[in-house]
Structure 1
Amino acid sequence: MTEAVRTLTAAACAVLQAADPADKIRLTRLYGEAWKSGGLAEVGGDLPPDRPARPPRPELLPPKDMPKRSKGGTRGRIALLHALAHIELNAIDLAWDIVARFAARESLPREFYDDWVQVAIDEALHFELLERRLADLGAAYGDLPAHDGLWQAATATAGDVLDRLALVPMTHEARGLDTTPPTMARLTANGDAETVAVLDVIYRDEITHVAAGVRWFRHMCETRGLDPQADYDARLARLYPGGLKGPFNGPAREEAGMPAGWYGG
């Protein structure tokens, strides 16, 4: 795989085609810094693959075939960390995919790409932190099976950047804002300060990621003459038919620019 790419979309495709997580992280940082410094100056129009490359492990299963996750003791923490690491690896790819997927069909300002390159860099750090914590516990990413449903969000929203923003940062990542604090509280009660510290970094960054989603969703709605809240409601009903269920983390969602009327909180 050549590293001498000339455009940001070519860089995004190179990351997506990197199967090894270490390569994916290294290229994310390399190309992210090149974009920030001006070494990559052009956005480009390279189209991403339908699916990112994946390492031979973990085994990817349909969500319905995933074994029940242990919730207690060291095994439970390993299972939690492994599941989160898999989410973060997919999140790296989702960030690069939004960079390349819509560049050729939307008129997007440079600041849009700035935001999603930074999201990719953040997600790479998150994966590394979780991988290190797994190693502390005598485990590694790939030791357990993982479900293959995470990329379905990318496939379902490949046709419209507003769909992608509505489903990925504004719905899936926003749910992380709801669920992470209770998880941190349980781990704190069990004396696992190390894992709590990792989750706190992820939680703080995810607020900024949801905020980026909301900001660009509003921007694109204004560009198309749409009402952002009404349009989000309509897209949520179509893309997430089960609907959102509380409890919701109102303060974190508010900090990310998503008032209660947007999610029924």
Structure 2
Amino acid sequence: MELRHRALQVLCLAHPDEKATAALALYAVADQCSIATTAPVPPSNPEALPGRPERPVLLHHTAVKRRSPATPEGRAILLHAIAHIEFNAINLALDAIWRFDGMPAAFYQDWLRVAAEEAKHFQLLRDLLRTLGHDYGDFPAHQGLWTMCEKTQHDIVARMALVPRTLEARGLDATPLIQQKLRQAGTTDALQAVAVLDIILREEVGHVAIGNHWYRWLCVRDGLNPETHYTTLVQHYQAPRPKPPFNETARRQAGFTDTELAWLLYTD
């Protein structure tokens, strides 16, 4: 089995359970796979990338309603939103594996690990959602993460800069705030969600660290200054600038430098 070819096949799967299970299964046999002898050929229909279910309905991010986690429905909507992010994160990791040629084997192995852990996160959140009488697809969602994935499909440096270490890193900041609100709710399901988010936060630090590592590796390869080039990429691709408060501890653990943290905190 060739890892990059199989990653593309899994990316094209539409059923959420099938995709999550297949990502975990591929990770389990990764040591038996070659990376690839030829570049994978994407499907002729661009709509097949990524494979996605008919539900949830996808809206612009400003049209997706938010609810207080103080109510059962509000917690369900919150868990659904996070589950959707994790489902998209499976796709993002798989896309990096099949799309970009010529990287060291460790690059593909790192992103396969990310895909598998995101699949686990999705399954944990979906199980919680079902305890509240709902399922993935019951509420609208948005595609902000995948939009940036499409923008950076021809630029691996931009992909590493703007997806894991920009958009996904926002989860490091948001998760403790979400956990605080869930603790205030105090219900059994809310506290179960806090515990699941502990797992997700810990592993997401590692995912952002992988993005930081490969972004800097690529900058060294291409003779770029990682800090100044990052600001260029943010402007060119119109990436959102994260807003405080920032989880500085988690960001440092993920490899952000003092200069990068100072840039985040700086306002015009």
Fold match by TM threshold 0.5: yes
Look up the match of 2:158: 163
For the 8 Å contact 1:89–1:123, the answer to whether it is kept is yes
Whole-angstrom distance in 2 between the partners of 1:70 and 1:130: 17
Identity across matched positions, percent = 42
Match of 1:54 among 46, 52, 76: 52
Q: How does 1:32-111 map to 2 (within 5 A)?
A: 32-35=27-30, 37-38=31-32, 40-43=33-36, 44-48=38-42, 50=46, 51-66=49-64, 68-71=65-68, 72-103=70-101, 107-111=102-106
8 Å CA contact retained: 2:157, 2:218 = yes
Amino acid at match of 2:139: L
Aligned-residue CA RMSD (Å): 1.5
Distance in 1, matches of 2:74 and 2:41, equals: 39
Contact 1:47 1:101 in 2 (8 A): no
Q: Does 1:148 align with 2:146?
A: no
Quick check: 2:83–2:125 contact (8 Å CA) kept in 1?
A: yes
Q: 1:167 to 1:86 in 2, by over 3 A?
A: same
Paired AA for residue 227 in structure 1: N
Moved over 3 A (4+): 47-50
CA separation of 1:245 and 1:64: change in aligned 2, threshold 3 A: closer
- Once residues 134 and 183 of structure 1 are traced to their aligned partners in structure 2, the CA distance between those partners, rounded to angstroms, is 16
Please list the CA deviations of residues 182-241 of structure 1 after superposition, one character each: whole Å capped at 9, or x if unmatched. Answer: 111111122121010111111011100010000001100000111111111211222245
| Alignment-mate amino acid for residue 217 of structure 1 | Y
* Cα distance in 1 for residues equivalent to 2:204 and 2:240: 23
Q: What SS is found at the alignment partner of 1:91?
A: helix
2:252 corresponds to which residue? Answer: 254
- Range moving further from structure 2, 40-49 or 127-136: 40-49
| Distance of 1:245 and 1:97 partners within structure 2 | 27
Q: Decide whether the 8 Å contact of 2:182 with 2:194 is kept in 1.
A: yes
Contact kept, 8 Å, 1:210 with 1:256, in 2: the verdict is yes
Q: Which moved more, 1:47-56 or 1:93-102?
A: 47-56
Q: Gaps (5+ residues) in structure 2? A: none
| Count of matched residue positions in the alignment of Structure 1 and Structure 2 | 254
Provide the residue aligned with 2:191 in structure 1. 193
Q: 1:112 aligns with which of 107, 115, 129?
A: 107
Instruction: State yes or no: 1:21 paired with 2:16.
Output: yes
Indicate the SS of the match to 2:66.
Answer: coil
Q: Which amino acid aligns with 1:108?
A: M
Structure 1: which 5+ runs fail to align? 1-5
Q: Which residue of 2 aligns with 1:222?
A: 220
TM value normalised by structure 2: 0.90
Distance in 2 (alpha carbons) for counterparts of 1:41 and 1:171? 30
SS, match of residue 201 in structure 1:
helix
Shift of 1:61: 2.0
Q: C-alpha deviations, 1:12-50, integer Å up to 9, x for none? A: 111111110111012112222221x22x11334104454
Greater shift, 47-56 or 82-91, is seen at 47-56
> 1: CA distance between counterparts of 2:41 and 2:171?
29
SS in 1 for 2:20: helix
